[in-house]
Amino acid sequence: MRPNFFHHLHPPTIPARQARLRYTLAAGGLAVFLALVLLVTGLLEMFYYIPTPDQAAVSIQTLTFLVPYGGLVRNLHYWSAQFLVIVTLVHLLRVIFTGAYAPPRRFNYLLGMGLLVLAILLDFTGYVLRWDEGIRWALVTGTNLVRSIPLVGNPLYTILVGGTQPGPATLIRFYGWHILGLTLVAGILLVWHLFRVRRDGGIAVPPPALREDQVRITRYELLRREGVAMLLAATGLLLLSTFVAAPLAAPITASASTSEMARAPWFFLWVQQMLKLGNPFFWGGIVPLAVLVLISFIPYFFPQPAKGELGHWFPKGNRLAQAVALFILIAIIALTILALLPAA
Ligand code: HEM
């Protein structure tokens, strides 16, 4: 077969264990696929979405109920965004639980952390664009968190919200960040991340002398597997988007429910739960930031796996990092469940 453009994305052959599903979980590849779906469906949504407070929710209703296949496009965009956050978290856990961040991959791990933060920020800004009753928490509690930062809180709040309280300027700012600012940076980081995977010698496996087997697969085989994974993911996503609609509530009105009754988007429920403990700057700012910094610097300050241990789950050399990641994961899941329980 003559190689085409897609074949050139991979080296001519790679060690077979770099492409094992039970090692990579295909999470990185799925994240790339979801990012592409988001880009295409997001561009299509832009033809109908109107970023003004009185038109935003109505324009989404028009798109959903009146535009042919508009509902499907919107559902695909929504579900891809939720799965992108989940799949990226799975990918991060896979990288930590296999110690794949060891040198020379430390820098790429940081690029990955940047992508994770951007995926969450894109999900958050996109969710605000609904400008319906469901987004009150984000709009009121979320933006007020910025105000609680000592010294710089107020000016930062004005920059974020575009005034002294949420209004038309807020929506246009979130729109600008969502469709351009964050998307552009995410696109650049994504290409850089993928380039670094290749530059760092592909996915982490032991060097040839320490490898149990020397079996290699061709790029045609790799591309075939990627194609199958993508088809399966596309089928699942289409089925879900056909039958389960993305949330949309009534447009925001000044008189409607208070912010206390509103719920954070699912990926910030753990933060919402911590806010009940007291000081918003500490629980809503310092603690989440500390978690982020701790995870980001795992490759730099924690013991590394030995070279021969790479390519396997749970290497002995980085047990400390695995324990820390597991602890954070359990704490976040527990806080999320608590936030979902009905208030006593
Ligand atoms: C939108 C988010 C992301 C995308 C699209 C993405 C994509 C990918 C892909 C396609 C690969 C190669 C295949 C694989 O390992 O599955 C990869 C590898 C890698 N990623 Fe990511 N990634 C993302 C986020 C992250 C995050 C959050 C981290 C960790 C902080 C990370 C760290 C790494 C590392 C260290 C490798 C090399 C793994 C190894 O050598 O075994 N990535 N990424």
8-to-3, 215, 218, 219, 221 alpha-carbon distances in Å: 7, 21, 12, 8, 13
The pLDDT, as a whole number, for residue 118 is: 98
Higher pLDDT, 136 or 243: 243
Minimal-distance CA residue to ligand 1 atom 19:
197
Fold of 5-340: Cytochrome Bc1 Complex; Chain C (1.20.810)
pLDDT band at 275 (very low <50, low <70, confident <90, very high): very high
The pLDDT, as a whole number, for residue 4 is: 82
Q: How far apart are CA 68 and CA 219, in angstroms?
A: 39
Cα 182 to ligand 1 centroid, rounded to whole Å: 19
Ligand 1, residue 202: give the atom nearest the CA: 40
The pLDDT, as a whole number, for residue 193 is: 98
Is pLDDT of 8 > 90? no
Q: What's the pTM value of the predicted model, to 2 decimals?
A: 0.94
> Which range has highest mean pLDDT (1-15, 139-153, 218-232)?
218-232
Cα 271 to ligand 1 centroid, rounded to whole Å: 25
327-to-35, 123, 291, 321, 331 alpha-carbon distances in Å: 29, 25, 11, 10, 6
Minimal-distance CA residue to ligand 1 atom 24:
112
The pLDDT, as a whole number, for residue 9 is: 85
Cα 90 to ligand 1 centroid, rounded to whole Å: 10
Minimal-distance CA residue to ligand 1 atom 6:
28
What is the CB < 6 Å shell around ligand 1?
24, 27-29, 31-32, 35, 88, 91-92, 95, 100-101, 105, 108-109, 112-113, 115-116, 119, 190, 193-194, 197, 203-204
- How many helices (H) and strands (E) are present in the chain, helices listed first? 16, 2
Cα 210 to ligand 1 centroid, rounded to whole Å: 24
Q: Tens digits of per-residue pLDDT, 69-91?
A: 999 999 999 999 999 999 999 99
Q: In this structure, are residues 162 and 172 in contact, taking their beta carbons and an 8 Å threshold? A: yes
Per domain, the residue ranges of the chain are 5-340
pLDDT band at 312 (very low <50, low <70, confident <90, very high): very high
